[in-house]
Structure 1
Amino acid sequence: MWQIYIKNFKNYLTLERALSENSIEAYIRDVSKFWEYLEITHNDAPSVTEVSDKHIFSFFQYIDELGLEATSQARMLSGLKAFYKYLEVEDVIKQDPTLLIASPKVGRKLPSTLSYPEIVQMLESIDLSTPEGTRNRAMLEVLYSSGLRVSELVELKISECYFDIGFLRVRGKGDKVRLVPIGRDAMHYTQIYMEEIRKHQPIQTDFSDHLFLNRRGKNLTRVMVFLIIKDLAMITGIQKNISPHTFRHSFATHLIEGGADLRAIQEMLGHSSITTTEIYTHLDRAYLQQTIVDFHPRNRGFR
């Protein structure tokens, strides 16, 4: 029944509201994401008429945890409000469940999210003529390409980089392991770093398998990554209060806004309880990789 109501809503927006094609697509995408969320989180998903404000509030908590910035949440709420207003006008529902949802700012406050042009601006401002610059470009490409936590980035091992299949084996919170796709640009710059920089520097024994190293041959710290990003923001004139986690939120936001499946994003971020063996059964690896290819800005034209 959801499909029928969404289709009718689209006709309403086209014929009666005379909205632009882009606006209609945005509204339909927002409602479809909410429907998708209900199917993910409920064995018996509620129908259009059974949705309550609790369902909508929990949906915004969910996308907040995935990293969708407040402005994008506000736009999605606008789409849901338009949908339920339409259903109310059509006498499909008696009470609008979005009526009391006044703000998308649920849960914790997220740091700023960078736009894709801002991401590109920061990446391209890095001086590749220096060893540190080559390393930093590879590091930030990986951070944005795969949505890693900064702690996961600094502990990433060479033995856990499977470039032949385009995946990283990442150890997250609670020592849980997941496979995360890595994009073409991230692999390209990482391989340049490994071949031209890392191979020629002295490496301390305990850090021989760590991918990203400092000048002394040890792994980078989280503070060092934070300072690198702060310096780049200052160089490029970006005024937002950003951190390594901003790249993770940007990764999730750009995938969501590009139309990627919420379950795939949840898996890649490591928000569910995923064990080593479940990696191969929860979602197909080819499906996760295709999500990056289809929806990540570094792998397609971003609009």
Structure 2
Amino acid sequence: MAKPDPVPTFIEVGVNAKPTVPAEGGSEKPLNGDWVDEFLGDREIRPNTKKAYTRQLRGFQVWCEFKHWGDVSEADVSRYKVHLKNKPTKAGKIGLSPASVNQAIATLQSFFKWLATKRYITYNPTLNVEKVPAAPTETKDIEVAAVRQLAEGLEYRGQREQLSTRDTAIFELLKHGLRATEVSKLNIGDYNGQAVQVSEAKWRSDGTVPLAPNARQALDSYLGWCVRKGFDTSSGEPLFRSLSRNGYGKRLGYWGIYEMVKDLGAIVETTENVHPHRLRHTFGTQLVLNDMSPDYVRKLMRIKSPVTSERYTKRALEKKAEDAFNDLIERSELGSGLF
């Protein structure tokens, strides 16, 4: 039986010729895939981090009109950084914050490093792309006197015993460096009478936080109030519950804690821009000011990187220098200056 004639292959020549693509071998690029799902599957990351990575990588893809990852150039990444710096935000501002831009660039760097390690690409286009310098920010900690002033507003918050009792316990935990989201996620079983166990924290900063007597007393008082009000106090139940009409008895969320602190600021008429996270910064600064070892500071604040904890060391140094200067002025003969 005669074999059928082979299908001819036509090769274009001249200036309009298109390069031929080999059927096998050569580039390792998949025909339809883009490696994002494989990248995310290879990494041990939390669901929220996975969502952020996906959003940032897909956002870059949309911006560069779905150019194949292997074709992305260093110029593309640099132009994307400029785009982020000039992108209008939902709040009406021009340009994302340096932290947001750097987070997006860091995601791309992590992804392209992985692609290069896997040998899916031959060149990492993010190697020479620099992060955006952070803009000067306000002092993040609060003076101890201002924190005490906020505490004075607790008894007036809503002028209701139930709010004062619950909010005092929350306020004490914020003073121990817990983030508002961490306080919200606490269950009753996470408190053992001496410390709280923080789980599913940001940047995997899980750990045990020992509590001062004031905090333990506030929590014990609040739990006693919960028992008297008939709330379920088994270990798996939320430690802090909403006391509003709409969500009464449900877990108190981040925004409930955020608004509580803002409300305290309004009650005492503070001039500080107060919010829960500034209490965490105050905790870290005060630990360093009281000469605690940097290793212990990182342990209590559940910080893994020495670079991150360095901010508290720098701030404490600033405060000590200011105090030393003021003491020197008071001891000087003029009392109004050194000379």
TM value normalised by structure 2: 0.44
Higher normalized helix content (fraction of residues): 1
Larger radius of gyration: 2
